[in-house]
Each structure stands twice: as structure tokens, then as C-alpha cells.
Structure 1
Amino acid sequence: MTDAPTLPIDIIDQPAPQPTRSDDTPARASRDGAPLRTLRPRTLPARWRITLWIVLSTLITLIAVGLMGRSIFLASVEQAANSEIEQEAAEFSRFAEDSAAGAYSSAEEMLTEYLARQSAHEDEVVIAAVDGQVTAIANGRADAGDAGDVPQAIDLSTVAGGEALVSRLLGAEASSGALESSDTGPLRWGRLDFMAGEQQGAVLILQYTQEARAQVDDAFVTIAWVALIGVLLSSGVAWLVAGQILAPVREVYRVARDIGERDLTARVPVDGTDDIAAVATTFNQMLDRLEAVHATQQRFVDDAGHELRTPITIVRGQLELLSEDPDERAATLRLVSGELDRMSRIVTDLLVLARAEQPDFVRVAHCEVSMLTLDIEAKAQALGDRRWQLMEIAEGSAELDPQRITQAVLQLTANAVQVTSDGDRIELGSRFDGEGAERRLRLWVRDSGPGVAAVDAERIFQRFARGDSAGVRRGSGLGLAIVRAIADGHGGSAWVDSVLGEGAMFGIDVPAPVTAGVADASDERKH
């Protein structure tokens, strides 16, 4: 059986015209109609960006922790000063209660005795006053050799802030508080007032916090230097880690850089199952698709060059020898027109085969097989004056592409017409084989032509392979290749069953599993 010229029933999907845009209109890539976010140009390498982000986040964290820690420690300094004032006030209250029996003749004597028993610690000053006049001072900030067990002489110049500060605090309405000045620095104070007979006594307690706060600041300066060293170390570690993480990305870059126009076989090694491995896998899949597209394009160019060379040579030769005789000119024009038609069919068939390697070549839909079979039989009768016989019809429905199936079966019937004569019988039919998920749909065409040799049975489904029927070579050799591509697109196969000299049966088998939707449709049809 020879390969007949393929039927021009396949509509080649042309890409939709793209809207024109002016040069100053930015292009917007899109996927599924959704605009893609435009990435801003970056100048720093990814390794530097990762390292800088890690260093920046580490610095922000350390600064935040440092400021919070400093605030906490400074608050503890203030809290400790308050506790010291409260403790000093409590001690004086107990002392005053113990002295209430009248052991002291005056408030001044009692305050002097009390301060004599106190040992003010550094940054603490306790001042005793009677009727607004200072009577004794216990100054922990003065020289330790002058303190001893006796209150110091009344010298307010030894008190930070001097007489003005003491007078202001003794006369203040509040009994405690906090203040800060250039003379005293920050301090906390508290005052305990009492009456001893006709005398108004007071104990003023001052807690200077400048030194403690300075110690906190010094400690955090040290911590800051240590943290800075830690940041430098972490930046080095981040640099090394970023290099390890980006190593597969650099490998992707190397492979992409080394890929040549005619060598798309290089692939990125995939190690592990993490995100980087997923990127490498996706990149390899993209290379697979590019290689397939490149192979398809190259095959199309090679096939077109191979098949179009002969008709172009014929046309050129005939035109060069074009005679002035009207009859010869008409014959030449008919020959040229025929060759141009053949070139058009070849290009159309090559485009179909190129489309066959695209994912959307087969567009599956729910189809009633019996109606499809009757439709194919009706179209086949227009192909030639033969005795067409529909031998069997599959009853049921399947998920397939009715246009592609029709194209494949009509190609087989066109081939059958080519190898038979007027009045010869050509049979066709369809049936389901198998049950459930294993069910398959078989569509076939049987002719009474010369048949196909066993050695040609597999070869004739390849591109530009032609069977030899009675020594006559016809067709472009692409029709059966298209049939096979359609069957492959459905997950099926194309086949031939023939004995040389006794005709041939060509057909396709495609999966037609019984799904819930197919079963429901079949039940409704039966009822």
C-alpha cells in the first residue's frame, strides 16, 4: 500500500496576531493573561546581596538587643537607687521608734546619733536638718578617711549641687523624685519629715546614679566591640555559606553560558531535593524542551529542504524551457501548478508533524464514537468511486480528539483509494476492545490492493517512507507519519496487518477507558 497525498483537512493553528506597540511602550510579559512583575535591574552579585542582607539583619538584631538591654540595665540602676532610699528611710523610722522613749533631749541630738551609726555607701549622701537648717551630713562620696563613725562637719560644698540643691529639696513639696543637672548628673532623692516636740526634723537621702550609669555604658561599649567582631566573623561565614548555596546556580550559569547553538545536550547536575535542586531540575527540563524544539525546527528545515528540492528543480527546469507554443505552454503550466500544489501539501504536512510535538496537538473532548464512525464513512465516500462498506460500529463514547481521529482515518482511506481501482471494495469500521480501564478503541480501513511487504510494515510509518505498490511510488511519504503522530498523541499506536498481494488493513488503537462520565453517558443512552 502506498502513501497517498495527504488530505488538506487539517487546519494549522496560526499564532494570533500580536498587537503592535510603539518603541517607547515597555513590553509586558504575561502568563495566562496575568502580567508578570518587572524585575528591577541589579548590579551586585547574588553572593554579595545574600552576605549584605545577613550582615544587615545581624546588625539590626544586635542593635535592637543592645538598646533594649541598655534600657533594662539603666532601669535596674534607677530601681536600685529607689530601693536604697526606701531602705534608708525604713532604717530611720525604726531608729526613731526605738528612740521614742526619750533617750534624746532634742531632734538634733537624735539625728546626729543616727548619722553617726550610718555608713553611707559610695554615691549616697544622707543629710539631717532641723527646722530647715542642716545639722549633720553622712557623705559616701567624700574621702573615706574623713568619714569614720562620726558625721562629717557641715560642709555643703562636698555635696554635688551644693547648698542650693539641698535647700531646694528640703523645701520641696514632694517627698521624693528624680532630677538631673550638669552639676549633679542624674540622681534620685527622698525626704522623711518628722516632729520632735516643737522642732521640725528631716532626713534627706540622695542617690547619685551617674557612676552606675557610666558603668552600664562602658559595659555596653565593650559588648558593642565584641558584637562588631562577631558581625565580621558572621559576614565571613555568610560569604562562605552563600558561596555553597549558590554553587548550583553558578553551575546553571556555566551550563547556560557553554550551550552552543547546535549543542543543547549539556545538563546541570542535580544533587539533593532542596529548592536549589528543584531549580536545577526545572532548568534541565527547560533545556529538554529547548532541545526538542530545536530538533523539531531542524527536522522541519531538513525535511523541507529534502522534499521541496525536487519540485523546485522541476518547476525551474520547466520554466526555463517554456515554449512559445500554446499547447506546450498550457502543459507546462499544468505541470508547474501540480508541482506547486504538491509543495503546498508537503509544507502543510510538515507543519502538522511539527505541531504533533506540541502539548496541545491533541485536544481531547467527550465524543460519541458511533456518530464519529458514521461521519468518517460519509466523508470517505467522497474520496473515490469505490464500494464502501461499513463493517462494524463501536457503540459508546470516549475521550479523544474527533478532528484528529477523523484526519487519521481519512488519511488511511485516501491511501486505500490510491491502491485500488473504481468499483473495488474498501471496508472500514470501529470497535471497542477490553473492559473498564483497559478498554481501547480500534478504527480500521481494509483495502483489496497489492498489500504491504513485511519488511515495509514498520518503515512506512516513518517520515518520507513510501511503500512500493506495483512499482509505482506515490505521495510525499508523510501521510502515514501523520497517522502515527495522531495515534501517539492519544497514547495509542498505528498498525498495519497485510499479506503481500492480498490487500492490507491499516488502523489505529487509542486508549478509551471507561470513566464515570463515559459510563453515565452510556447508561443514559441505553435507557
Structure 2
Amino acid sequence: MTGRRSVSARVSLTASYVGLVAVAGAILLGVVWFFLLRYVPTRAISTDTGWAPNQGDLLRAFAPAAAWAMAVLLIVGAVGGWFLAGRMLSPLSRLTEVTRRADAGNLALRVGMTRRDEFGELADSFDGMLDRIEAHVAEQQRFAANASHELRTPLAITRTLLEVGRSDPDRDTAALLERLARVNERSIELVEALLLLTRVERRAFERREVDLSLLVEEAAEVLLPLAEERGAELIVSSAPAPTSGSEPLLGQVAVNLLHNALVHGDPRRGPVSASTWRDEAEAVLVVESAGAVLDPASVETLVEPFQRGAARARREGQEGAGLGLAIVAAIVRAHDGTLHLTARPSGGLRVVVRLAGR
């Protein structure tokens, strides 16, 4: 926003101090007049002991001294107010400097104020805001980089298949079309997952009463063919767990968690289990799967977009865009719930979702 700059806060505060001094001096002079000088006679006063000053004499003697005193007070008030205002506003100068540098792109700078007053609270709040913005920007940059890579991969595969098909006179057209269809389907799934993730983060959904136990049973029924294909045992133990939220989105949570457990778990080491119950004022969903021993320090990173297991590269038989747990985390966060991932000591993963109960 451009335009003529208004008077600075320091000048305004200084003028306020000078004004207060002037008002206080005027009140003091008014008190002297009202309670003292107005009672002194204006005529010449004669007493037994001699002459006494009248009102005019006192005013002529008092007025110059009062004027000089008022001038000194105003000067002292202006000088002292200027320095006092500067000292009071110095934290704002630091805050303004950090704000301008943050606006220029330097999100690593912090105010770092140690004083424990209102300015200190403002600086701490501003530093906390910068922390969140910096983390959000870093997350968005990672997301954009990973999304670009993931979207480029199927396009590159499609181009390669077309070039091979164009240059090979003995190509199998049916097989080529089948492979192109699979690549295209993966691209569509990836785009749909990205759109769902964006919609969830905007919280653009309607809330209603939902029972997590019913959603888990539906998800298990949908994924039963996948469990049979992979030779995995799917165990569901569902007790009523009513909550409030979007039924399609919370259903997606159940589907994603069970799908992730079936795809990344090892059926030879144990079954995939899902259970729900009500814990005091919370609805709880727990999904466990057996598998390789995971590094506890890296487990929490699995909810980041495009993370698949311990690495970004897709392993044999593990299809997906790497957005399953990221979508789960976004949906749970949008429902003001908590998502906790734990590496099982015997191998595999335990995921706990807690939502406000009804």
C-alpha cells in the first residue's frame, strides 16, 4: 500500500507526553488561581503594619515565573518523552525488521526477545507463527517436488511404451494397450488422491454421526479379496465407536489403513487386525500388521506424502501412490483427532486413531 506516510508512533507518543505535561501545568495554575489568587483583593491593601500586595501585584510577580516553569516542563517533557517513547518502541523496530526480512523470504530469522511483558508475548507469538510457516513451506516444497516426480513417472512410462510400440513392427498391440491402460489408471488414482488430500485440508465436508465399527467392517469386506490374494488373515474386532464427522472420509481412513497393512505387511509373520472401541470420551480405531522390524525414529515420517515403507522406491507387489497414510493423517487432523504410529517390537506397524466420541 502506497501513500503519504503518517506521523510516526514515536512522535505521537512524545506529543502525548508534552500534552499531558501541559494539561497538568494548566491544572496546577488553575488550582492556584481558584483556591488562592481569586480571593486576594484587586484594590490597594493597607494594613497596620504597612503595605500588602494585591491581586495585580501577585499576578505580575507570579506570571513570569509560572511561564518559565511551564516552558521548562514542556521542554523536559518533550526530551524525556522522546527518549522514553524510543525505548518503549524499540521492540517494535526489531519486530518490523524481522517481518520485512521474512516477507523477503528469510523465514529462518527470529525476533528472539527475552523480555517478559506484552512485547515479549507478541514476539514469542510471532516466532511461533514463523516456525509454523517455515515448517509448512518446507512441507509444501517437499510435497511439490515429490508430486512432480510421481506425476512425471507414469508420463515417462507412457512415452516409452509409445516409442517402443511405434518402432517395433512386431509389437503386440493388445499387450501394449493393456500396459498403457494400467499406467493411465495409476495416473488417475494419483490425481484423485491429490485432489482428495487438498479437499480434506480445506475441511470442505459435512459432519454427521458415524460409527467407526461399521466403517471398519465395510472396509474389511471390500478388501477381503485383496487379503485372500495375498494369503493374509484379516481379523476384525469391532465394538461400537460413535463419533462425529464425514462418513465417506472416515471410511477412507479405515480402507487406507487396512489396505496399507495388507500391502506392506508380511502374511507369513502374522495376521492383519482391526479393532474399534469407545475409550471414555473418545472413539478409537487400531490397525496392526506383522512384518519387518521398523526403525522407530522413521515411523512418524510414514505419514508424509509419497513415503512408502522405509524408502520412497516402490517394492515388488506394493502398488500405490504413497499417499495412503498422508490422506489418513489429513482426515484425522481435519476431524480434530490424533494419529499415532508405533513400530511393533516383533515387527510390523501399529496405528491408533483417536477421535472425539459422541
What TM-score, normalized to structure 2?
Answer: 0.72
Call closer, same or farther: CA 1:306–1:263 in 2, change over 3 Å.
farther
Amino acid at match of 2:319: R
Superposed counterparts of 1:173-212, under 5 Å:
212=55
Q: What pairs with 1:306-325 in structure 2 (closer than 5 Å)? A: 306-319=149-162, 323=166
Equivalent position of 1:482 in the other structure: 327
Give the distance between the partners of 1:513 and 1:334, measured in 2 at CA: 46
Measured in 1, the distance between the counterparts of 2:317 and 2:221 equals: 29
Q: Does 1:493 align with 2:337?
A: no
Q: 1:56-75 maps to which residues of 2 (within 5 A)?
A: 56-75=19-38
Name the CA distance, whole Å, in 1 between partners of 2:143 and 2:294: 27
Distance 2:245 2:108 in 1: 34
Q: For each residue in 1:367-398, what CA deviation from the matched residue of structure 2 results, as whole angstroms up to 9, or x when unmatched?
A: 43444444444554687877996632213535
Aligned length, in residue pairs? 342
2:187 & 2:315 partners in 1: Cα distance? Answer: 25
CA distance in 1, matches of 2:295, 2:119: 49
What corresponds to 1:264 in structure 2? 107
Deviations 1:25-69 (A, max 9, x none): xx9xxxxxxxxxxxx974222222211221123223323433453
Question: Deviations along 1:56-95, whole A, 9 cap, x unmatched?
Answer: 23223323433453344442124x869x7xxx9xxxxxxx
C-alpha separation between the residues in 2 aligned to 1:288 and 1:348? 31
For residues 383 and 230 of structure 1, what CA distance do their matches in structure 2 show?
Answer: 88
What residue number does 1:412 align with? 257
Distance of aligned partners of 1:76 and 1:274 in 2 relative to their CA distance in 1, 3 Å threshold = same
Give the AA of the match of 1:474: E
What is the CA–CA distance in structure 2 between the aligned matches of 1:48 and 1:494, rounded to whole Å?
57
Q: Distance in 2 between the 1:315 and 1:482 partners?
A: 27
Matches of 2:25 and 2:220 in 1, distance apart?
82
Structure 1 residues 415 and 509: alpha-carbon distance in aligned structure 2, compared to 1, 3 A threshold = closer
Q: Which residue of 2 aligns with 1:51?
A: 14
Counterpart AA for 1:461: L
Give 2:17's aligned amino acid. Answer: I
Aligned residue in 1 for 2:94: 251
Q: How far does residue 407 in structure 1 lie from its aligned partner after superposition? A: 1.6
AA aligned to 2:351 is: I
Decide whether the 8 Å contact of 2:241 with 2:283 is kept in 1: no
Is the partner of 1:444 in helix, strand or coil?
strand
Equivalent residue for 1:233, pick from 73, 76, 79: 76
CA pair 54-418 structure 1, distance change in 2 beyond 3 A? same
| Bigger shift: residues 299-308 or 258-267 | 258-267
Q: Which residue pairs with 1:134 in the alignment?
A: none
What does 1:373-522 align with in structure 2 at a 5 Å threshold? 373-377=216-220, 379-380=222-223, 391-398=236-243, 403-415=248-260, 429-432=274-277, 436=280, 441-444=284-287, 452-455=291-294, 461=302, 463-466=306-309, 471-483=316-328, 490-495=337-342, 508-511=351-354
Kindly provide the amino acid, as one letter, of the partner of residue 320 in structure 2.
G
The alpha carbon displacement at 1:445 in A equals 6.4
Gaps of 5+ in 2: 266-270
Q: Secondary structure at the match of 2:23?
A: helix
Q: Aligned letter for 2:14?
A: T
Return the alpha-carbon distance in structure 2 between the equivalents of residues 396 and 323 of structure 1: 56
The aligned counterpart of 1:343 is 187
Paired residue for 1:275? 118
How far 1:350 sits from its partner (Å)?
4.8
Q: AA paired with 1:453?
A: A
For 2:174 and 2:295, the matched residues in 1 are separated by: 39
Please tell me the residue identity of whatever aligns with 1:44: V
SS in 2 for 1:43: coil
Q: 1:368 is matched with which residue: 207, 211, 220?
A: 211
In structure 2, what is the Cα distance between the partners aligned to 1:402 and 1:285?
Answer: 34
Question: In the alignment, is the contact (CA less than 8 A) between 1:483 and 1:494 conserved in 2?
Answer: no
Equivalents in 2 of 1:359, 1:242: separation in Å?
A: 44
Are the structure 2 counterparts of residues 466 and 122 from structure 1 closer, same or farther at C-alpha, using a change threshold of 3 Å? closer
Query: Structure 1 residues 255 and 479 mapped into 2: Cα distance closer, same or farther (>3 Å)?
Result: same
The alpha carbon displacement at 1:410 in A equals 0.2
Instruction: Tell me the SS of whatever aligns to 1:454.
Output: coil
Query: Structure 1 CA distance, aligned partners of 2:202 and 2:117?
Result: 28
The structure, 1 or 2, with the larger RCO (C-alpha pairs under 8 Å, 6+ apart) is 1
- The 3 A distance-change label for structure 1 pair 284 and 245 is same
Contact 2:210 2:245 in 1 (8 A): yes
Larger CA Rg, structure 1 vs 2: 1
Q: Does structure 2 conserve the Cα–Cα contact (< 8 Å) formed by 1:412 and 1:507?
A: no
Q: 306-315 or 358-367, which moves further after superposition?
A: 358-367
For residues 53-132 of structure 1, what are the structure 2 equivalents within 5 Å? Answer: 53-78=16-41, 122=51
Q: Are the aligned partners of 1:441 and 1:512 in contact in 2 as well (CA < 8 Å)?
A: yes
- Write the deviation string for residues 6-34 of structure 1: whole angstroms up to 9, x where unpaired: xxxxxxxxxxxxxxxxxxxxx9xxxxxxx
**1:233: Cα distance to partner?**
1.1
Task: Give distance in 2, aligned partners of 1:417 and 1:311.
Answer: 24
Q: Which amino acid aligns with 1:493?
A: H
SS in 1 for 2:286: strand
Mapped contact 2:216–2:255 kept (Cα < 8 A): no
Contact 1:440–1:509 (CA under 8 A) maintained in structure 2: no
